Amino acid sequence: MEAVHDHGHEHHPSGIMRWVTTTNHKDIGTLYLFFSLIMFFFAGSLAMGIRAELFQPGLQFMQPNTFNQLTTMHGLIMVFGAIMPAFVGFANWQVPLMIGAPDMALPRLNNWSFWLLPMAAILLVGSFFVPGGAAAGGWTMYPPLFIQGGLSGDMTIFAVHILGISSILGSINIITTIMNMRAPGMTYMKMPLFVWTWFITAFLLVAVMPVLAGAVTMLLTDRHFDTHFFNAAGGGDPVMFQHIFWFFGHPEVYIMILPAFGIVSSIIPTFARKPLFGYASMVYATASIAILSFIVWAHHMYSVGMPTAAQLYFMYATMLIAVPTGVKVFNWIATMWEGSMTFETPMLFAIAFVALFTIGGFTGIVLAVVPVDIQLQDTYYVVAHFHYVLVSGSLFAIFAGAYYWLPKWTGHMYNETLGKWHFWLSMIGFNILFFPQHFLGLAGMPRRIPDYALQFADFNMISSIGGFMFGATQLLFVIVVIKCVRGGTKATAQVWEGADTLEWTIPSPAPYHTFATPPVIK
């Protein structure tokens, strides 16, 4: 054994090479989280540009084409660059710890999964600076608009391919780890809910990413090889693209929310000092949401001329998803009911998640109703709806999880006062930003338009003020994280006081490669 220890140092690079070559799940989780943070600020700055342009009627800072590029890039980068990598970072850090595994099943694949992302990000961000193409189609890349244009569209398509490969590889790794590396005695129905949500999410990713790859490949051949998949003049059908895209896109929405459910299901029991209410029903609800997510895609397409029977089917199927989601919300509230609650920053974000995500869910049910949706389609009501799901949903859960696990990851406590400031300013800024957009949409203001009628001026000004407030507040989060990583009060093993059920204080069995002395049996 000694010989191995003497020569071991050759194989442990330091400095930047440690991060480039690492196969350690914690290092890779950290890389994902930092990458996500950088992309979050880039995409967020694009959103600030959008809100600055909309601060008052008329064209202020940019041409309509530039405005379209901002919305397209903001959407693509937030979805594929900020939200998804953050959740994969959480999975890398927490899944092995929670199931008692020494690492991920496929550590080198794990490294590659991550390093594909910066490459894709360079292409995606780069497409913003080369001649147009990506601008017109929106983040959904709809033809015929997306089929025109130059290099930008090709770079976007290539970036989406690489992002998809990264997601598939990461998901295979997570599935393999959970199925094969659980500690002895940890049956599926004993896994923490965060592990369950990621297990199900990984299957969703493996199922839908190839569908997106097929759709963008057909776009690419339409652009360059004279195929006519989506070109009506050549016998193609632009609506076919929408069907293929949303068959990916709707499960994708759940890919971005299921891990959030897992994080919130870890946090609420801790700060309520009670076990999670209805564990089994939570597992089944998560699985039901995942299955139903595959059969509701065309609710994004009520206005394309579907037969009435299809519209009715998609309307009822969509409303069905509200049932398992309602089960989850009920269980979170029941977990808090009569608990000994304390309100540290992670809990504040988790409670805000439950309240605001529920609003997003209700506006989703409103939009599921065909005649209502035909009126509200492509208005700011839709923008408000999905930001309540993706910002106060996914993003708030990411913040909650970051505050919750930072002491575990860094060994230091974060600054609770700054954390609470970050929460309250985010909460207020977010609602000032997105709540008025419901009214704008009901009044008929179309989205993705840089100029608008005078009647919408006041709500847009309020919305933009909320936007700048929300955007500036996120700098507080960076300060909290940097301070926490660099030092601070040492975190104890029992960091959240009184939380004896806390998942990561339960010692997992010793990894198989440690040569610890077995305990003496008296």
| CA distance linking residue 160 with residue 454, whole number of Å | 38
| CA distance linking residue 353 with residue 360, whole number of Å | 10
Torsion of CA 41, 47, 51, 52, to 10 degrees: 60
Annotated catalytic residue within 197, 265, 286, 358:
265
Indicate if 265 belongs to the active site. yes
Indicate if 337 belongs to the active site. no
| CA distance linking residue 207 with residue 281, whole number of Å | 24
3-state SS assignment for residue 104: coil
Annotated catalytic residue within 222, 252, 344, 503:
252
Indicate if 167 belongs to the active site. yes
Annotated catalytic residue within 71, 166, 266, 363:
166
| CA distance linking residue 46 with residue 455, whole number of Å | 25
Annotated catalytic residue within 182, 328, 385, 387:
328
Q: Could you tell me the sign of the dihedral formed by the alpha carbons of 441, 445, 451, 452, in that order?
A: negative
Instruction: Look up tokens 């780069």; give the residue.
Output: 126
Instruction: Look up tokens 């099943």; give the residue.
Output: 105
Residue 198 contacts residue 173 (beta carbons within 8 Å): no
Residue 106 sits at φ, ψ, to 5 deg, of -125, 80
**Cα 452 from chain centroid?**
31
| CA distance linking residue 62 with residue 153, whole number of Å | 20
Which residues lie closer than 8 Å to 141 by C-beta, 6 or more apart? 134, 153, 156, 157, 160, 215, 216, 219, 245
Indicate if 392 belongs to the active site. no
Neighbour-count burial for 24-37, b at 16+ CB within 10 Å, e otherwise: ebebbbbbbbebbb
Annotated catalytic residue within 26, 66, 103, 412:
103
Alpha helices in 225-344 (DSSP H): 238-255, 258-272, 279-292, 308-336
The two structure tokens encoding residue 150 = 């130059």
Annotated catalytic residue within 25, 161, 223, 250:
250
| CA distance linking residue 182 with residue 279, whole number of Å | 19
Indicate if 108 belongs to the active site. no
Annotated catalytic residue within 25, 74, 161, 422:
74
Q: 412 - beta bridge partners?
A: 490
Annotated catalytic residue within 142, 196, 254, 504:
254
Annotated catalytic residue within 447, 483, 501, 505:
447
Indicate if 300 belongs to the active site. yes
Annotated catalytic residue within 32, 139, 196, 246:
139
The two structure tokens encoding residue 135 = 């601008």
Indicate if 254 belongs to the active site. yes
Indicate if 103 belongs to the active site. yes
Name residue 265's amino acid: S
Indicate if 7 belongs to the active site. no
Annotated catalytic residue within 161, 300, 387, 438:
300
Residue 40: its H or E element: helix 25-53
| CA distance linking residue 162 with residue 159, whole number of Å | 5
| CA distance linking residue 362 with residue 395, whole number of Å | 19
Q: Show the CA angle centred on residue 251, arms to residues 245 and 256, nearest 5°.
A: 115
Indicate if 25 belongs to the active site. no
Annotated catalytic residue within 22, 113, 167, 266:
167
Alpha helices in 134-192 (DSSP H): 134-137, 151-180
3-state SS assignment for residue 301: coil
| CA distance linking residue 434 with residue 177, whole number of Å | 39
Annotated catalytic residue within 71, 325, 410, 464:
325
Indicate if 486 belongs to the active site. no
Annotated catalytic residue within 299, 385, 422, 438:
299
| Angular region, 273: left φ>0, alpha ψ -120 to 50, beta rest | left
Active site members: 74, 103, 139, 166-167, 250, 252, 254, 265, 299-300, 325, 328, 447
